[in-house]
Amino acid sequence: MICRVCDSTRLDPVIDLGNQPWCNHFLRKEEIGKEPFYPLRLVHCADCETAQLDFTVSKETMFGDHTYLSGVTQSLSRHFEQLAEEVNQRFFLQQSGKAVLDIGSNDGTQLKHFLKLGWRVLGVESSKGTAQRAIEQGIPTRNVFFNTVTARDLPGPFQLINASGVFFHLEELHSVAEGIRACLAPDGIFLVQFLYMQKIVENGAFDQIYHEHLLYYNLKTLERLLQRHGLTCFDAYLAPIHGGSMMAFVHHQGGPHPSTGREKAILAEEERKGSNHKEWYQQFGRRIARMKNENLDTLGERKSKGKRIYGMGAPVKGNTLLNYFQIGPSIIDCLVEKNELRRGLYSPGMHIPIRMEDEIKDPPDVYYVLAWNFKHEILKNQAFLLSRGVEFLFPVDPDRASS
Ligand SMILES: [Zn+2]
């Protein structure tokens, strides 16, 4: 195996989460026990310092038909709305004929907000069902994988190219980066929204490690990749979404946008903390093993008192956690979810049944919150249950972050 970013062969194993099923395929009853398992291991490149998986599940398996809908949560939709307004205000207020391309546009939630602001919008989404849903909602969407070849057929150049989350799913990394460079207007902005690895580690959010996420960027490692493709970051900040996502503003090298200095401050902080070093990740690996013991102790203690435990949410990342902790239906009766696409399905690997929120008439004693990144939204919405003494346990707690 060679480094996905710099082709080096100097890759050191740092975290091993065992063999895991592909976490984004929730199972129908007849599929239970037939799902394949793949190694889930993180390695660190001694040359470019990028943390990455050493095993690739093919992109056709991973992104042909996923059931993640970005429109589902209020806080995510609000984040996308604020971001569209920010980009429009800061950079493009006076410009007419503005076009935005969203790579991995999902159900069109991000583009919807640009459409409202008068932009011409286009989405690229590899999941057929999700692309169809976006089109039905009036968001023009191409159902293809974005890369250098498919980029040629798009009606560019684009003043803005957005890639949220998807940027580190990408198997054809350099082809995608080249495609972006080719479609981006000379004064255009490429907005990369990605889970920030330093924050993942500080939050103890190891459940963000799963097969779709091939690469785990800090700003320094992202910049290395961009440099290789004639692009560079001129501004960046950390937004609270998903427990800590980096918003990186990128343009062509020598592009027109002055540096805000914020990206330099983040790079300096990475340097100070050592968050690009192998030791940082090894330490994280040891912490994850401790979290497993602590979580199993807590749940076991509640069980021994005869308490009923439900999982709250059936997020994709929850499957990394459940499989690594080995938490199955003997501990958690069901996962309570509001995404209709997951009705009647079972979690891969651990086979916990999913039930829809509106099916739950009688609340459990304990909710084990797998969708921990929406902690504040959940606690606000569940004030009634809290007042009735239902306990909410957070396996990962962004409010108690440490490094
Ligand atoms: Zn490398």
For residue 319, the CA-to-ligand 1 centroid distance in Å is: 28
Q: Please choose, from the candidates 386, 331, 391, the residue with its C-alpha nearest in 3D space to the C-alpha of residue 365.
A: 391
Q: Are 74 and 44 in contact (CB under 8 A)?
A: no
Q: Are 48 and 221 in contact (CB under 8 A)?
A: yes
pLDDT in tens, the chain (403 residues): 899 999 999 999 999 999 999 988 899 999 999 999 999 999 999 999 999 999 988 766 766 555 555 555 677 888 999 999 999 999 999 999 999 999 999 889 999 999 999 999 999 998 888 899 999 999 999 999 999 999 999 998 999 999 987 666 677 889 999 999 999 999 999 999 999 999 999 999 999 998 988 899 999 999 999 999 999 999 999 998 877 899 999 999 999 999 999 999 999 999 999 999 999 999 999 999 999 999 999 999 999 999 999 999 998 889 999 999 999 999 999 999 988 888 999 999 999 999 999 999 999 999 999 988 888 888 999 999 999 999 999 998 877 655 4
Give the per-residue pLDDT at 189: 98
For residue 79, the CA-to-ligand 1 centroid distance in Å is: 32
For residue 54, the CA-to-ligand 1 centroid distance in Å is: 12
For residue 207, the CA-to-ligand 1 centroid distance in Å is: 23
For residue 262, the CA-to-ligand 1 centroid distance in Å is: 25
For residue 222, the CA-to-ligand 1 centroid distance in Å is: 11
CA 353 and chain centroid, separation: 23
Give the per-residue pLDDT at 61: 72
Count the residues in the chain.
403
For residue 199, the CA-to-ligand 1 centroid distance in Å is: 21
- 238-274: buried (b, 16+ CB within 10 Å) or exposed (e) per residue? eeebbbbbbbbbbbbeebebeeeebbeebbeebeeee
Give the per-residue pLDDT at 27: 94
For residue 201, the CA-to-ligand 1 centroid distance in Å is: 20
For residue 229, the CA-to-ligand 1 centroid distance in Å is: 15
Q: Which stretch of DSSP H or E encloses residue 298?
A: helix 278-304
Give the per-residue pLDDT at 69: 55
Report the predicted TM-score, pTM, of the whole model to 2 decimal places. 0.87
For residue 100, the CA-to-ligand 1 centroid distance in Å is: 31
For residue 396, the CA-to-ligand 1 centroid distance in Å is: 29
For residue 221, the CA-to-ligand 1 centroid distance in Å is: 9
Interatomic CA distance for residues 114 and 116, integer angstroms:
5
Tell me whether the omega of the peptide bond preceding residue 157 falls within 30 degrees of 0, making it cis.
yes
For residue 225, the CA-to-ligand 1 centroid distance in Å is: 9
For residue 163, the CA-to-ligand 1 centroid distance in Å is: 22
Please give the structure tokens belonging to residue 286: 């040891």
For residue 74, the CA-to-ligand 1 centroid distance in Å is: 37
Please give the structure tokens belonging to residue 289: 């093993």
For residue 288, the CA-to-ligand 1 centroid distance in Å is: 24
Give the per-residue pLDDT at 213: 87
Tokens 């050191």 belong to: 12
Give the per-residue pLDDT at 274: 97
For residue 165, the CA-to-ligand 1 centroid distance in Å is: 20
Interatomic CA distance for residues 371 and 314, integer angstroms:
7
CA 91 and chain centroid, separation: 26
For residue 50, the CA-to-ligand 1 centroid distance in Å is: 6
For residue 124, the CA-to-ligand 1 centroid distance in Å is: 28
Interatomic CA distance for residues 230 and 103, integer angstroms:
19
Interatomic CA distance for residues 336 and 3, integer angstroms:
39
For residue 11, the CA-to-ligand 1 centroid distance in Å is: 8
For residue 173, the CA-to-ligand 1 centroid distance in Å is: 13
Q: Please choose, from the candidates 80, 60, 61, the residue with its C-alpha nearest in 3D space to the C-alpha of residue 69.
A: 80
For residue 44, the CA-to-ligand 1 centroid distance in Å is: 8
Q: Are 371 and 321 in contact (CB under 8 A)?
A: no
For residue 206, the CA-to-ligand 1 centroid distance in Å is: 21
Q: Are 248 and 168 in contact (CB under 8 A)?
A: no
For residue 371, the CA-to-ligand 1 centroid distance in Å is: 32
Interatomic CA distance for residues 225 and 231, integer angstroms:
9
For residue 188, the CA-to-ligand 1 centroid distance in Å is: 28
